[in-house]
Amino acid sequence: MDLGNVYFVIGTSYAGKSTIVKNLAKKHNGIALEENYHDVKLPELDSRQFPNLTYTRDLQDWHEFIRRTPEEYVSWIHNVKKECETVELQILEEMLGKPEVRGKKIFVDTNICVETLHGISDEDHVLVMLADPEIGVHRFFDRPDPEKQFLYQLMLEEPDPQAALDNYREILTRICSRETYEELERSGFKVIYRDENRTQEETVLLAEELLGIAG
């Protein structure tokens, strides 16, 4: 694949990945592959080949989803990311083969791991966005996003809602760990740190500067 016009964004929760991908694509008349863009392939995935990605697709009782232990959940998340990488690269390959895409910049909010990105891209085409891990833990249910509110309601329906919430909080603590943050920070790619005082427009300018994209 020729990835010369593809810009990948990775990072932690609440760092602004989705927003920067949308804003850069809009400003540069490009294409935004937004968070979980692999979902477009979900209906056709074989559960034997992608058991983790299809877990929620085939789930009969969503209460099972929130009752998993932190160890089970974190293991599932890591395996989902591996499967996502395969599907996301396949989508990119298909997209880059379309004549209407040629010449356009593609901005990707991705699950592709650091090691793979070092193999297929370079430091001028990958941006890391980081927010303090505590934000992802303590503000997870603050967002109005339907998926998060659905999970929150499931926990309230449990026999012991507080225990269910505490269990999920522990899951989030492990997913949004300081170790993960530091691994991304040391990835070798350029980093933007969350700053409440910086506007979206200023973040776009900073991203353009770091990626070497003309504004």
Kindly report the CATH number assigned to the domain that includes residue 134: 3.40.50.300
Bridge-partner residues for 108, per DSSP? 8, 33
| pLDDT at residue 145, as a whole number | 79
Q: Residue-wise pLDDT tens for the chain (215 aa)?
A: 899 999 999 999 889 999 999 999 999 999 999 988 999 999 999 999 999 999 999 999 999 999 999 999 999 999 999 999 999 999 999 999 999 999 999 999 998 999 999 999 999 999 999 999 988 888 787 777 788 889 999 999 999 999 999 999 999 999 989 999 999 999 999 999 999 999 999 999 999 999 999 76
**Residue 102 carries which DSSP code?**
T
Cα–Cα distances in Å, from 85 out to 88, 174, 206? 5, 21, 27
- The reply to whether 179 falls in a domain is yes
- The reply to whether 196 falls in a domain is yes
Other residues' Cβ atoms within 10 Å of the Cβ of residue 52: 17
- The reply to whether 26 falls in a domain is yes
- The reply to whether 75 falls in a domain is yes
Dmax over CA atoms of the chain, in Å, equals: 56
Question: CB neighbours of 6 closer than 8 A, spacing ≥ 6?
Answer: 92, 96, 105, 106, 108, 121, 125
- The reply to whether 1 falls in a domain is no
Beta strands in the chain, from DSSP E residues, in sequence order: 6-11, 31-33, 106-109, 126-130, 190-193
| pLDDT at residue 142, as a whole number | 76
Residue type, 60: Q
- The reply to whether 128 falls in a domain is yes
Cβ–Cβ under 8 Å, residues 194 and 132: yes
Domain count across the chain: 1
Sign of CA dihedral 137, 128, 203, 6: negative
d(CA 111, CA 82) in angstroms, rounded, equals 8
Cβ–Cβ under 8 Å, residues 60 and 72: no
pTM: 0.92
Bridge-partner residues for 109, per DSSP? 9
Residue type, 82: K
Domain extent for 155: 6-211
| pLDDT at residue 18, as a whole number | 93
